[in-house]
Amino acid sequence: MAADPFEHGWQLDQEASAITFLSIKKDTVAETSQFAAMSGQITERGVAQLVIALDSVDTQIDLRNVRMRFLFFETFSFPEATVTAVLDPLSLQDLPSLRRKVINLPVTLSLHGAEVELESEVAVTLVSNDRITISTLNPVILQLEDFNLMAGRDKLQEAANVTITPLGIVNLNLAF
């Protein structure tokens, strides 16, 4: 019988994980930011949940962090973003022999009061018997209007006196 890749479930290793996003201002200036606090798990049935503390946004500039928290994400009302997905244990049962497998993963992103279905190509890598990584192969492009974030973008533009392209480009590198 093939091994069950989720036999005991998996817990996110926050220190070894990263969620980064790229934003574009003034049409040509790209800036990379990340989130410092997140938690997550994959259950024995392959149900994955990732919770991102939006207050932990880190843009490398303190004033911008404050603006992102209060004007853009409105963390006083929407403190977290949640990603949920189901990893099919049957499609990953050969992971112990392959070590790395690329799959299309449907996910649901709950952000700023909106819930959007997305699909991402991810690499699932069995690093060792007690370590697995899941990484996006291509950036995930999020349209701000899909998540009711256009008003927040407008507030940021006004506060910083810049134009901001209405999308975010996200990469995930998660270790469990």
Predicted confidence (pLDDT) per residue in 121-163, tens digit: 999 999 998 899 999 999 999 999 999 999 999 999 999 999 9
Looking at residue 8, its pLDDT comes to 78
Distances 52 to 20, 24, 75, 79, 137 between C-alpha atoms, Å: 11, 22, 11, 9, 20
Q: Where do the structural domains in the chain lie, given as residue ranges? A: 10-175
Q: Average pLDDT for residues 73-101, to the nearest whole number?
A: 95
Given a cut of 70, whether residue 120 has pLDDT beyond it is yes
Looking at residue 89, its pLDDT comes to 86
Q: How far apart are CA 73 and CA 80, in angstroms?
A: 9
Question: pLDDT averaged over the chain?
Answer: 95
Model confidence at 1, pLDDT cuts 50, 70, 90, reads very low
Helices (H), 60-147: 62-67, 95-98
The architecture (CATH level 2) of 10-175 comes to Beta Barrel (2.40)
CA angle 20, 157, 58 (to 5 degrees): 25
Question: Is the pTM of the predicted complex or chain greater than 0.85?
Answer: yes
Q: Which two tokens stand for residue 124?
A: 């699932």
